[in-house]
Structure formats: structure tokens, C-alpha cells
Structure 1
Amino acid sequence: MNAFEEHFTYEPVGAEPGPEVGHPGMTIAFVGNPNCGKTTLFNAYTGSNLKTANWPGVTVEGKEGSARFEGYEVRLVDLPGTYSLTSYTMEEEVARNYVLSGDADVIIDVVDASSLERSLYLTLQLLALGKPVVVALNMMDVVAKRGMEIDVHRLSETLGAPVIPVSARRREGLQPLLHAAYHHRGVAHDPIQHFHPVDDGMAEKHAENVMVYSRDLEGRIDAVQAAFEGRYPDVANPRWYATKLLEGDVAVRRDYPLDVPELEEDLEERFIAERYDFISGVVAECVFNRERRAEATDRADRVLTSRVWSIPVFLLIMAAVFGLTFVLGDAVKDVFQTWLDLFNGWVADGLAALGASEAVVSLVCDGAISGVGTVLTFLPNIFILFCALAFLEDSGYMSRVAYVMDGIMGALGLSGRAFIPMILGFGCTVPAIMSSRTLESMRDRRRVMLVTPFMSCSARLPIYVLLSGMFFGQWAGLAAFSMYVLGIVVALLVLLVLKVMGHATDDEGGMLLIELPEYKMPDAYTVWVYVKDKVLDYLERAGTVIFAASVIMWVLLNFGATGYVGENVDGSFAAVVGRAIAPALAPFGSGDWRLAAALLAGISAKEVVVSSLSVLFGVSGTAVGTAALHDALLGIGFGPANALAFMTFCLLYVPCIATIATIRSESGSSRYALFAVVFQLAVAWVVAWLVFLVAGSLLG
């Protein structure tokens, strides 16, 4: 154990509190660029199940956790990734506002050591605030792998702040980092040591400030700072605000208006250029063997980000993912199904032995167990899909997808950044809608909110597995994959129509700023956190929303105006509602009232469509996907073309209630949320009808 470790103890959240040793607790804020490993480092301390991914925008709101230092609890805050303290997007604004609030006793600036020149730009802005900053030099394992060397001691002298080498992925350097943060609280910065000549009369500024600009800019800063101090004498660190005013920072100019001649010119580009000149000098002084690059990443990107091959390769990779999901998942699913059928039979026999009525046995077995069990049988498929997506995310590939899509999205009046929520929509639409905060304007955000629900979230996968397996045999994987491709195509077409109608302009999208990280072997812990979180969420939905929906559907199916109808389902409430909706669905081959009722139930959660079908068609046990339901559907004239159209409608129609509520919250408008629902329903009907016509002519 080294000297640092002797003074440090860290325990996951929820550990029993240790003895207090007399020092006050503190709050540490983790700040850094997207893809710098900030959230992974935060997870390493707290044990928190936060998702990390290799693209910007995943962490949109600050997350909190705690660790233990010398027996006392330390509060940790994980802020959204940002490239600077000039806020252009909502995530950048969240990070900046928290840093300026003073709530954090110490800021840990997580820096990607393998891309130091880019990362230090934010570091300079944080140090200029005059707050205690500790630099976590992350990804040192990548630096070593590339053969690079960093003079950590010299870098610390240059920045006037502790610089601690760490590897969040390997959990290395955690103890020294927290130790440095604790002992640096209350210290704005250490004495600055720049070993290079300075202009006459500027030596004092170089001793006091990490970043000193040219004589002209310093003169302007002094003038604005003097005026600022005269008007706002109680504001701490007037130099930082003076600099921001000269840069034309919209928020600072709005909150601290000042009328001085120096503000007539926008000097932001000059400030940026001089900061990068200073950073280049620091990097040249502290980093060695920079010429070595990740050759494997460069070779892979020649194909994976090329104009010709990038999109076909993306489609092939996703097709392989879904092929794997079916081949491996179905083998395990059959075992799950057998166990659940046995369990259902045991429960039915037990209830009968206890003298339970027919209605009670039917409620428990045909309603609750069959409904929830049907969804649970698809857990192996869901698990394999989540593993594959987590692997792609953490390997660094998915950020390339956003980069590749930048040109396409730009033609639609958006940047490639707008494709990130759409990618996230493959997991769950709710956080995907929330991640639209990375876009700068509400107009862009609303357009993305409108089309993101067209992405096939994981809740729809059981529907695809069910119908594809029954009607497409060995081509089931391809049939399911076609839904994912169709969702992307429909979303892009809708964005194109909106642009043609005048809702976007050619220059409105702006430039995509995204880090393309080096390809790496995914971290097992990160993948485990992601998959565990998704599986637990799936099980929670099965035990709550799907359970409740299955019971409600059983009640609607077994009761009518005359009371309990039993097997006479034609007189049930479900039949009445289903028959009212069914004529609207008939044009694309789903005119049976039971299909209509299942779609209606699916608004609560898309998995409920599957569980509802088992209840509505009276399939005993959990044998969905077997001959029982297949024969029942064939009996109403439901064939492959109907199945494809039904899957299409499930893909595009009204999203789940949670998504609707999120659209309402993120757009700030109930009217817009209602418009989105009606619009998506109309698109679903039209596309499902077209698919039914085309599939009917091809499949017969």
C-alpha cells in the first residue's frame, strides 16, 4: 500500500457509514469532454448503475453518488459532458450552471490523456474560474499502449493544479485522485511555473493566471474587468466574466449587461486561437512520442467511415446482431417456455385442488401467468440483443455511425448529432427523447422527438420474435431486422418532408462536433452494468405494467354488460372496443377485433401486445409462438403479409404512455405531444397499408 492509499478508503453507495474523524464532508463534481471516461470513473467510485457509451449525449442530467474518505461520506456529482464553458446545448448549460453555482468544493476535470490537446481547452476554462480543480489524467493505459509518455509533474507545474494519472476502465489511480481532491479543497491553484519568456510588465499576470493572452487582449480584459467590478462589485472572479463578455457569451451578456467600447467587437475566435496556441506549447513541453498513432483504428475507419462502405457495413453488422439474437435466443427461449408451461399447469392444479372457482383459475393462469410468462419467454432474445448493442457502444463503433450519418442529416436540415437520439431509440425511446437536449434549438429538438419513436425500441422485439418466428421460418431474423431498417427509412423520409415543407433550412443543422475514440475491447464491467440495467428494467415492466395490463385485458375479455361472460368472449367489453376500432385496421389485414384490442393495450407498453394476444386468443399456458396461436391466427386469415403489416403498425403507431409523457415534458407543450401522437398514428396506418399491399403481391 502506498502513501496515498494509506489515507484513502472508498466504499460503494449503500455501505455502512464509518466513524467520523472530525473533518467536514465535501462535494466533488466530475467535469469533462464527452468520451473522456468521466462517467466510467464516477461509476468506479460509487458503484452506481449509470450507463456509459462511446458517443456524446448519453449523460444529459447530473447524477449523484457517494464514496467514503477516511470514514466520512463524500458527495460525488457526475455532470454532462461538455467541450467548454460556453454553453450552446442544454447538456453544456447544465454542466456550466452547476460549476458556476459554487455547490462543488472541488472539481475533478477528467481529461483524455490520449487526446490531451483537445481536452485541455476545457481545463483552461475551469482553472480560469479560480475554483479548486484536480486534473484526472484518464486513459493512461491507452497512452502506454501507443508508446506515448507524459511528464505529469511538468504538466502539474504548468497548470498550477494537481494532475493524477488514472485509468477508469482498469480502476487504477482511484485512491490518489480522491486523496488529491480532498487535500486540494479551498485551493484555487498552486503557484504557476511557466518556463518560457514573457513580455515586459506581464510577469505578474503569468504568476497569477494559468492562461495569459496577448498584450492587446489583456488590455481589453483589464478595461472590461474594471467596468465590471464597478457595476457588479459582489461577483467573484471578475476576470472570468470580463473574458466571457469579450468572447460574446450570450448568457453572460444577458445576465451581466455592460456598455463599454471594448464589447463592440466579437473576439471569440481570437480567444480560442490563443488558448490553443498555449495548449500546443504545453503539449509540446509535456508529451513525448506523440507521432505514434493507433494504426488499427485508422485502418478500420478507412472502411467503417468511408462514403461507400460505411452504411452497408452498418446494416450488415445490425443484421448479424439480429441473426444472433434469433439463433441463440430461440434455443434458450424454448427451455423457458417449457418451464413456464409446467409452472402454469402446477398453479392451475393447485388452485383447483383448493376449490378455486373457474373465474379465479382463469384470472391467475390465463390472465396473469400467461400474460407475464409470454413476455418472459423472450428474455433470452432481449438479453442477447442488449449484450450486442453494449459491445458495439463500448467498442467505439456507434459514434462512427453518428459521424457517417452527418452528411445525410445535414441534407435534412440537421447535424449528425441529431442521429444520436435515434440510435438511442433502439434501446428505449424515453432516454432517447431526453437526449435530444444535445441539440441547440427547440425546433430541431421537436423534429427529432417526432421521428425518434419510429426507431425500434427493445419493447417491440417480442412482437417481432413472435410473428417472425411463426410466419417466416428460417427468414425470421431478416423479417425482424427489416423493421429496424424500415424505422430508420421512415424517420429520414419524414424529416425530408418537413424540410421540403419549410420546417428546416440547409444551413440550420450546423456542424457535428463528435469525438471518434480509438477502437477498444469493451470493458466487461461497463457492458455488465448496461445489460443488467436493461434486463432489470424489462423484468420490472413484466412485474408491473405488463402484469397490470394482462389482468385488465383478462377482465375486459371475461366481463361484459351482462357480467361474467366466461368463454363467450363475443359479449365482452374487449370485443365491443375491438369491434369499434377494427374497421380502421382492416385495410392492412388486421381487421379482427382481437388484434385491434391487443394494439390498444400496447399503448401501455409495447410488450403488452404479445401478452394480450395470448389472452385474447385463449392460448393456454405460455405457448405463444407455437402451433396454438399460429393456428388461431391462420383461422382468421392472418398470414405472412398480415404479420408484416401488423409488425409495421406496431413499429410506427402511438408510442407507449411513458414516451408520450416524455415528449410532453421535453417539448413543453401538451398540444405538440398530442400532434405527435396523431401524426405517428397516421404514418403507421399509411406505411402498414403500403407494406400489406406490397407483401401481399409478393408473398401471395
Structure 2
Amino acid sequence: MKLSELKTGESGIIVKVNGHGGFRKRIIEMGFIKGKKVDVMLNAPLKDPVKYRIMGYEVSLRHSEAALIDVISIEEARKIEKPETVSPGMEIEKPDPDDQMLTPDEMEDAASKKRKTIRVALVGNPNCGKTSLFNFASGAHERVGNYSGVTVDAKAGYADFEGYHFELVDLPGTYSLSAYSPEELYVRKQLVDKTPDVVINVIDSSNLERNLYLTTQLIDMHLRMVVALNMFDEIKQRGDRFNLDKLSKLFGIPMVPTVFKTGVGVKELFHTVIETYEGTEDKSLNFRHIHINHGHEIEHGIKNMQEHLKQELDVRQKFSTRYLAIKLLEHDKDVEDYIRQFPDAQEILEHRDEAAARVKEETLQDSETAIMDAKYGFIRGALEEAGYKEGTNQETYHATHVLDNILTNKFFGFPIFLCVLALMFICTFWLGSYPQDWLDTFFGWVGEKLTVVLPEGPVQAMLVDGVIGGVGSVASFLPQILILYLFISFMEDSGYMSRAAFMMDKLMHNMGLHGKSFIPLIMGFGCNVPAIMSTRTIESRRSRLVTMLILPLMSCEARIPIYIMIIGTFFSRTASPFIMMSLYLVGIVVAVIMSKLFTKFMFKGEDTPFVMELPPYRFPTLKALGRHTWEKGKQYLKKMGGIILVASIIVWALSYFPHPQGLDDQQQQEQSYLSSIGKAVEPVFMPQGFNWKLDVGLLAGVGAKEIVASTMGVLYSNDDSFQDDNGYNDEGGKYERMHKAICADLAELHHTTPQAVEPTAKLTAYSYLLFVLLYFPCIATIAAIKGETGKWKWAIFAATYTTALAWIISAAVFQVGSLFI
């Protein structure tokens, strides 16, 4: 039977994992290996995915993924199989001198120069506490998260201890060093290309068996290493017991118990790193490099390949030849491409294929699976020999189970989640509006003072409208950014973010996205900028990119003044709510369609499987929340301040020059370079029925959407108050003045009377609303996309495709609608 056929509360024993490629590799690496018991914990409210418990931790799988795993009941397994006893079968050797990266003389010379500087890489599974150690030791304020994929790049920091200077690098969390995900490849390349002096392998002590799988791969790389058994307080509370010295000897690595959130064991850890670096560790403990035995045929193949690999001097400087041979047997594409450049590449690959064929013949499984099984077999044997006994004093997930039964309940889960979102939304965009108004008032006051101090002219106008206006537009978002990340930080650090993705995954999966995409999309209705920044919580690069690309289609608050102005001008008060609602619905529908198109044609291939660890709930510290919130606020100012400031000055210059004396604001706008551009592009927008003044409003909105309303107000009624409206406000009859002015222009454009052009004007107005909804995101959003992706091409693509989409849809609506007028 299939794992997907088990019901809630039932258990089974894994027989095998079907499928192929990245999915199968990831499932096995996450612990879904034959002979392991798996329990079905609960279904998501929408019946998919399902939470399972295996090897003492909990993960979720979709039904489609669980259907690829064959299981049998525990009772049936007891009848047809005997309990399996695994022998570790390890072979201990001293380090092979051929595998050393430097000659003894070079090492001695380097040690004399840099003996007191130790380059340390932090490597470990997601949620193991790596970044907590990094922050505690270096004082660097990097992100601490309770979900997978929190660290998306290497973070550098520094620490000093016992006269040594530590250069710390916090690498992304990864479950293995395979060529599966960008995180895995990045960590591997960092360890190879920027080989550290010592690796601190951080392990979640409460999940030893799974975490030690990465340790065995680091052993293959033949790196100097110290293991930090983090969260050691949890296993002590649970009552787990094992011989730490014995386990350390079996792995040939010093292991230090730690609790990073309180700093317990950190001094001992760094003291051990120094000893490992200097080679002064306690010799009685017999720490030395080991070779994990993977079975006769695999070891024979490794040996044959090493004979060739050792002939390549460049290989020995960067790699352990044993590691490369193992990766070849795992059919690692990157390593294969690397090997193919060697003169004897054909012989090496023939040895690999011969060994793989013999493994298949003897074990009826591929060599990659055999290596994984051998590593888990070694881990199980080592834990058994070290006397590992799981305690019964306290179940780690007891409180988590109670909370999950409430927070992911099919009846209460969604209402609670919606309440959390509502609270976050209200606090971010309503509560945040107060400090935002204070900042706007402050920069307005600064602008007024400058107008008094500086003489009237282009310098004054540039500083007041360009520089101060640009700085103000950046700073005005800061309160909302801080409040948003305070909420997101709490949800991530507490573990609730993973539950939100667990509940929403089926809905998002139908759009081709990950469950974590839901929150950024909801936030996009408030402001696209913080929504774009919140996509970093999405582990899958594919889903992260697609989410960022469709986020501009979510109608943000900045568009509301434009909607109110156009709707109030052309539509009745009765029809206004329906017109407004239709715009939001169009944005959602278009976003769904574009998401499906992107995932089907542009980002082809299988997405990251929904094998997401559901960590136990933990209450984050106020210090961590405050630190993370402030750091993200600083990142926002650094990433977007310069871009928005430059863009604001450019838009100001286009609307200010040329500047003849004696003209009012309306006349000035009509003679500006921006107006000239609008008149030049007028033919492009004829299919929508727009005239050049409407075009100028759209061009001005490139800087910030609110400017569309104020620009049109100035051009048509010499009134820039439209951008301040968040509700119907016909003060002084401004909507009527706007209506008459636009109808007069459109009548001239269509060579008819203002009365006759009325139906066409309404259609033009709605087409204009659709264009505003869909076209070019504001400069702040473009800057955010560039900042989060690290590449201008995605920011430019987002600006280009949304504008093209806006043109097509608005033109289609106008042309089709004209047939019925």
C-alpha cells in the first residue's frame, strides 16, 4: 500500500521510495528510508498536505508525494521480516597525505602568518541554531528563524577568543551536500572554493540521527571539523542518554554540548576549535579522520577512481579524492562535469559505471541509494554502540501537538490564521499610518523651511520636490516595514509560519506556488514593497521568484486615490463599490493566470517538494525580535534609498523643465518635458482612448502611484489634492470640474461633443483604471525586486511584462466595449 492511503492515527513501515531525481533524493535524505516507522499525525484543513512523524521529528508531505512511498503495516512487517541489526563496519585510517591541500612547508609558512586567525564555517541543518551561534559569538545582527531556508546567503562576522581572531561565515541551512537545491550547491561551493580552517557542524541534539547525515558527508570532504551538539538542554529534559566520548571517537570528531540561546558551551566550543586548528586536542580521545565503509563494491569502485583522481594535482588542492569518487557514484552532475575535463575522464566514469552495476546486481538498488543507506547504517550503529537511549521524561512535541490541534484544526485553523493576518494587516497599514503621517508632516515642514531659506528657482524646487520628496517617500514606508517584520519575525521564530504554509499549501500549489507565498500576496494589498521583502521566507527559489513577479498585480493602497478620483469623476455613488471591487478581482484573476503561465512555461521543472520540517513551537526572545526588526529596517533604507532618491529627482526634473517664468502649475505641467513625452507617446495609447494628459499621469506614476492622481488633478483642474483622498471627497465640486475637463478633451480627440462622448468617456475611465491596476510597479517596488533577487533583469522584466499586460488588457476592454456603445 501507499503512504498516502494511511489514515490519521495509523502507522506503517517504509518499504521503499519510488520516483526519481531530486524528489527521491530529498525524501530519502529527510529520513524516509526503508525499515523506518512513520506515523500519520493529521491532515491539513484542506486534506492536503499531511503531517507525518518519522525518526522523532515531524514533516509534511502532499498526497501526490506520499503516493510515491510504499509502506506496510507494522503487524505485517513483524511477520515477514526479522529485526535488522546493522553493523557500522567502519574503517579507521590516518589522513592520506595525497589529500592534503597544502605541502608541509606551505602549511608551516601560512601558520606562522595567520596562526591567530581562524576561518570558521558554520554548517548545519535548518533550525539547528547556526545563526544563533553566529549572532551570539560575533554580535552580528543576522536573522534567526524557526523555518527552513532562513539564511539565503553567506554572512560574515568576527569574534575574538583566547588571543585568536575568528572569521565566522554562516552558511545557508542544508540537509545535505548533494546537488539538489541552490542552498546545497552554495554551501558545497563555499566549502570547496573558500575552504575554511575549521568547520563547526551545528547539530540539533534532539534529532541526532537525521542531523548526523550531513556530518557523514562533511567527513567525506576530509575537512577539520568540530560538532556542536546544540539544544542539549532539550534532550536532558527529555531524558535522552548516550556516551558522548564514545560517539565522538566513533565519528573521529570532537563533539561539544551547547545551548546557543543562553550561551552554554560556547566557550568550550571555541576552545575546541582552537585545539583542532592547532592540532593540540587531547590525543587520548583518538580523534582522526575516518572512512565510512559503504560496502565492498562501492569501496572497490572508490579505490579504482581514486587511482586516477590522485594523478590530478589541481584536484588534490581543492577536493578529497574519496569525496569526488563518492559523488560520482551518486551521479552528481556538477562533479561529473568537473571530471569530464580530465584526460582520463572516460576511465574514471567506466570505473564508476562498473561499480554501480555491481551494486545494482547485488542489492537491487542504485549506488546513490546504497550510499545513503550505508551512511544511515553507520549512524545507527554508532548511536547503538554509544548506548543511545531515548528518554521518556518529557516529549519534545507535547506542547506542539496541543497547539497544532488548535492552530491547524480544520474548523478553527483558518479563522485563527485570518485573525492573525487581519491583526498584522491592521497594525502594519493602519497603525503604521500614524508614524507615516508624522514623517510626512516632518518632511513637509523641512520643505517649507527650505522654501523660506532658499531663493525661488530650480535649486529650491529640486531640493524640496526632488530630494526631500524622494527621501520622504523612502522614510514614509519605514514604520510599516518595521511593524510588518516584527509580526513576520514572531511568526517565523515561533514556528507558526511553517503551520501557515502547511494550511495554505494546497491552494497555493494550484497556482504553482508554495504555501508560504500566501502571506506576501495578502500583504501586497497593503503595499508591494514590504510584501516583496517578505518573500525571503519562501524556501523555493522558483516559488519566490514567481511570487515576486505577480505581487505587483495585487492592488496596493497607493492606487486607492487614483481609483477614488476616476470612479468619483465618472461613476455614480451606487456603482462605485462594484467598480472598486472589480479592480481587486481582476488583479487576483490575472495574478493566478500569470502564476500558472510562469510555472508552466518560464520556470519549468519540478518545484522543491513540500517536505517541510514542522519544528516545535518556541517563544522568541524580545531581544531577537527587536534586533531582527531593526536590521531589516536598515536593510530597506540601504537597498532602496539611493534608487528611489535618484528616480524621484529624474521625475521631478522631467516635470519641472523647461520652466518659463510667470506660469501657473497647470501651464507648467503642460509645457514640461514630461508633457512632451506624453504627447509623443499619445499614438501608442490611442487603442485605449487615452489622450496625452492621461498619458502624462501614467508616466508620472512610475515614481509613485499617488503622483498619478495629483498630476491629473493639476492638469485638468489645477488641484493637486486628489492624491490625499482615501474616500469620496467632492470638496468644491472638484469631481464635476474634472469630469467636464476630461470629457471636453476626449470630445476633441474623438471629434464629437462632450455630451455624445459621455459613454466613451466612462469606458475610457475604466480602461484607465485597469491600466493603473496592472502597469509598471512603482520605483520602490522595482528596487525591492532587485534587492531581493540581486539582479536587475528580474526587476526590469517585472516592469516590462506588467506594462505590456496592462496595455493589452486595457486596449482589449476599450475596443470590445466600443462595439456596444
Question: CA contact under 8 A between 1:418 and 1:436: conserved in structure 2?
Answer: yes
Question: CA contact under 8 A between 1:587 and 1:689: conserved in structure 2?
Answer: yes
Q: 2:484 aligns with which of 385, 397, 400?
A: 385
Measure, in 1, the Cα distance between the counterparts of 2:645 and 2:449. Answer: 19
Change (3 A) 1:665 1:343: closer
Q: 1:212 aligns with which of 289, 293, 306?
A: 293
**Residue 86 of structure 1 aligns to a residue in which SS?**
coil
Answering whether residue 421 of structure 2 is matched by residue 296 of structure 1, we say no
> Displacement of 1:40 after TM fit?
2.9
Change (3 A) 1:664 1:646: same
Q: 1:463 aligns with which of 543, 552, 558?
A: 558
| Alignment deviations for residues 240-259 of structure 1 (CA, whole Å, 9 cap, x no partner) | 33333333333334433421
Q: 1:531 aligns with which of 629, 633, 640?
A: 629
> Displacement of 1:183 after TM fit?
1.2
Task: Give the corresponding residue for 1:521.
Answer: 619
Q: Say which is worse superposed, 594-603 or 633-642, in terms of deviation.
A: 633-642
| Alignment deviations for residues 39-83 of structure 1 (CA, whole Å, 9 cap, x no partner) | 232232233343343333343332322222334432222222221
Aligned 1:4-153 pairs, distance under 5 A: 23-101=115-193, 103-143=195-235, 148=240, 152-153=244-245
Question: CA contact under 8 A between 1:33 and 1:111: conserved in structure 2?
Answer: yes
> Displacement of 1:300 after TM fit?
3.1
Task: Give the corresponding residue for 1:178.
Answer: 270
Question: CA contact under 8 A between 1:652 and 1:684: conserved in structure 2?
Answer: no
Residue type matched to 1:275 in 2?
A: K
Question: CA contact under 8 A between 2:200 and 2:226: conserved in structure 1?
Answer: yes
| Alignment deviations for residues 535-586 of structure 1 (CA, whole Å, 9 cap, x no partner) | 2244446753333333333322222386895632211112233455678789
> Displacement of 1:647 after TM fit?
6.8
**Residue 199 of structure 2 aligns to a residue in which SS?**
strand
Change (3 A) 1:383 1:482: farther
> Displacement of 1:277 after TM fit?
3.3
Residue type matched to 2:203 in 1?
A: V
Q: Say which is worse superposed, 178-187 or 333-342, in terms of deviation.
A: 333-342
Q: 2:369 aligns with which of 239, 264, 269?
A: 269
TM-score norm. by structure 2 comes to: 0.64
Q: 2:545 aligns with which of 438, 449, 455?
A: 449
Aligned 1:272-671 pairs, distance under 5 A: 272-283=372-383, 285-286=387-388, 288-289=390-391, 292-302=395-405, 304-305=407-408, 313-351=416-454, 356-373=455-472, 375-408=474-507, 411=510, 438=540, 445=542, 449-455=545-551, 463=558, 490-497=590-597, 508-509=606-607, 511-540=609-638, 544-560=642-658, 567=665, 568=667, 569-579=669-679, 596-597=695-696, 599-600=698-699, 603=702, 608-610=704-706, 624=724, 634=735, 636=738, 648-649=773-774, 657-658=782-783
Change (3 A) 1:636 1:176: farther
Over the aligned positions, Cα root-mean-square deviation in angstroms equals 5.1
| Alignment deviations for residues 156-181 of structure 1 (CA, whole Å, 9 cap, x no partner) | 23322122222333344332222211
Change (3 A) 1:319 1:488: farther
Residue type matched to 2:803 in 1?
A: L
Change (3 A) 1:629 1:149: farther
Question: CA contact under 8 A between 1:34 and 1:56: conserved in structure 2?
Answer: yes
Q: Say which is worse superposed, 171-180 or 28-37, in terms of deviation.
A: 171-180
Task: Give the corresponding residue for 2:801.
Answer: 679
> Displacement of 1:297 after TM fit?
1.9
> Displacement of 1:408 after TM fit?
4.7
Task: Give the corresponding residue for 1:197.
Answer: none
> Displacement of 1:384 after TM fit?
1.6
**Residue 432 of structure 2 aligns to a residue in which SS?**
helix
**Residue 164 of structure 1 aligns to a residue in which SS?**
strand
Change (3 A) 1:360 1:84: closer
> Displacement of 1:519 after TM fit?
1.8
Question: CA contact under 8 A between 1:67 and 1:75: conserved in structure 2?
Answer: yes
Question: CA contact under 8 A between 1:161 and 1:189: conserved in structure 2?
Answer: no
Question: CA contact under 8 A between 2:491 and 2:497: conserved in structure 1?
Answer: yes
Q: 2:335 aligns with which of 227, 252, 264?
A: 252
Residue correspondences, number: 635
> Displacement of 1:311 after TM fit?
5.8
Aligned 1:684-695 pairs, distance under 5 A: 684=806
Residue type matched to 1:228 in 2?
A: Q
Q: Say which is worse superposed, 305-314 or 635-644, in terms of deviation.
A: 635-644
Task: Give the corresponding residue for 1:228.
Answer: 306
Question: CA contact under 8 A between 2:529 and 2:780: conserved in structure 1?
Answer: no
Measure, in 2, the Cα distance between the counterparts of 1:691 and 1:175. Answer: 68
Measure, in 2, the Cα distance between the counterparts of 1:83 and 1:496. Answer: 29
**Residue 156 of structure 2 aligns to a residue in which SS?**
strand
**Residue 26 of structure 1 aligns to a residue in which SS?**
strand
Q: Rg bigger for which structure?
A: 2
Task: Give the corresponding residue for 1:239.
Answer: 322
Residue type matched to 2:120 in 1?
A: I
Change (3 A) 1:274 1:540: closer
Q: Say which is worse superposed, 495-504 or 378-387, in terms of deviation.
A: 495-504
> Displacement of 1:340 after TM fit?
3.7
Measure, in 2, the Cα distance between the counterparts of 1:377 and 1:584. Answer: 34
Task: Give the corresponding residue for 2:42.
Answer: none
> Displacement of 1:424 after TM fit?
11
| Alignment deviations for residues 613-649 of structure 1 (CA, whole Å, 9 cap, x no partner) | 6678678899945899986984635999899857733
**Residue 56 of structure 1 aligns to a residue in which SS?**
coil
Change (3 A) 1:540 1:252: closer
Measure, in 2, the Cα distance between the counterparts of 1:645 and 1:617. Answer: 19
Question: CA contact under 8 A between 1:294 and 1:518: conserved in structure 2?
Answer: yes
Measure, in 2, the Cα distance between the counterparts of 1:525 and 1:52. Answer: 11
> Displacement of 1:36 after TM fit?
1.9
Measure, in 2, the Cα distance between the counterparts of 1:402 and 1:645. Answer: 31
Residue type matched to 1:224 in 2?
A: I
Unmatched tracts of structure 1, length 5 or more: 1-19, 195-205, 440-444, 473-478, 694-700
Q: Say which is worse superposed, 236-245 or 184-193, in terms of deviation.
A: 184-193
Measure, in 2, the Cα distance between the counterparts of 1:294 and 1:316. Answer: 25
Residue type matched to 2:147 in 1?
A: W
TM-score norm. by structure 1 comes to: 0.74
Change (3 A) 1:303 1:274: farther
Residue type matched to 1:209 in 2?
A: I
Measure, in 2, the Cα distance between the counterparts of 1:510 and 1:187. Answer: 41
> Displacement of 1:457 after TM fit?
11
Change (3 A) 1:392 1:456: farther
Residue type matched to 1:454 in 2?
A: I
Unmatched tracts of structure 2, length 5 or more: 1-111, 340-344, 361-365, 569-578, 743-761, 816-821
| Alignment deviations for residues 646-685 of structure 1 (CA, whole Å, 9 cap, x no partner) | 7733686899554676899869xx7x98765443323445
Q: Say which is worse superposed, 677-686 or 31-40, in terms of deviation.
A: 677-686
Measure, in 2, the Cα distance between the counterparts of 1:582 and 1:601. Answer: 15
Measure, in 2, the Cα distance between the counterparts of 1:629 and 1:337. Answer: 21
Measure, in 2, the Cα distance between the counterparts of 1:94 and 1:556. Answer: 44
Residue type matched to 1:323 in 2?
A: I
**Residue 636 of structure 1 aligns to a residue in which SS?**
helix
Q: Say which is worse superposed, 253-262 or 568-577, in terms of deviation.
A: 253-262
Measure, in 2, the Cα distance between the counterparts of 1:52 and 1:687. Answer: 43
Measure, in 2, the Cα distance between the counterparts of 1:546 and 1:360. Answer: 19
| Alignment deviations for residues 464-513 of structure 1 (CA, whole Å, 9 cap, x no partner) | 687799999xxxxxx999999987764443233456779857xx346333
